[in-house]
């Protein structure tokens, strides 16, 4: 018999599995523990975990790209907003995981943060900042 308490166990197992996928992507043994910056893998884990939450995340991330014309800055701003929004979903496991992932994303984006401070970060040829800078 499937009970309500099993749903919490399933959610926890999904998030732990997702965390392992994120860590495996970020600290790949095949790349001498130097992997990606975790943002795309986080998006995939959130998509698999809760599609509605993924739609909320997309409505935060995509306008950020349009405003800033910078993927890394959009990711850094969006991950914090997404962490705050996660509390509205009343899922403590998701909120705890996202709190950890905020730290991970900021640590992995150290070089991008330095380039942003120095004004050297690459921008995509799209969005308000790109059009402002172009003119």
Give me the helix-helix angle, 71-86 and 110-118, nearest 10°.
Answer: 120
Express each pLDDT in 41-90 by its tens digit: 999 999 999 999 999 999 999 999 999 999 999 999 999 999 999 999 88
H-type helices in the chain, by residue range? 4-26, 39-49, 51-68, 71-86, 92-108, 110-118, 128-134
The backbone torsions φ and ψ at residue 107, rounded to the nearest 5 degrees and listed phi first, read -65, -45
What pTM was computed for the model? 0.87
Contact by Cβ (8 Å): 111, 44: no
């Amino acid at each position: 018999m499937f009970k309500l308490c099993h749903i919490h166990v399933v959610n926890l197992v999904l998030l732990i599995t997702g965390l392992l996928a994120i860590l495996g992507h970020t600290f790949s043994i095949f790349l001498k523990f130097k992997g990606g910056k975790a943002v795309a893998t986080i998006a995939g884990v959130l998509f698999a975990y809760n599609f509605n939450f993924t739609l909320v995340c997309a409505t935060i991330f995509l306008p950020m790209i349009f405003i800033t014309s910078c993927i890394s800055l959009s990711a850094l701003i969006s991950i914090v907003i997404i962490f705050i929004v996660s509390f509205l979903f009343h899922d403590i496991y998701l909120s705890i995981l996202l709190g950890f992932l905020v730290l991970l994303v900021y640590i992995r984006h150290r070089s991008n943060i330095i380039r942003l401070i120095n004004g050297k970060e690459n921008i995509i040829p799209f969005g308000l900042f790109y059009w402002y800078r172009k003119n």
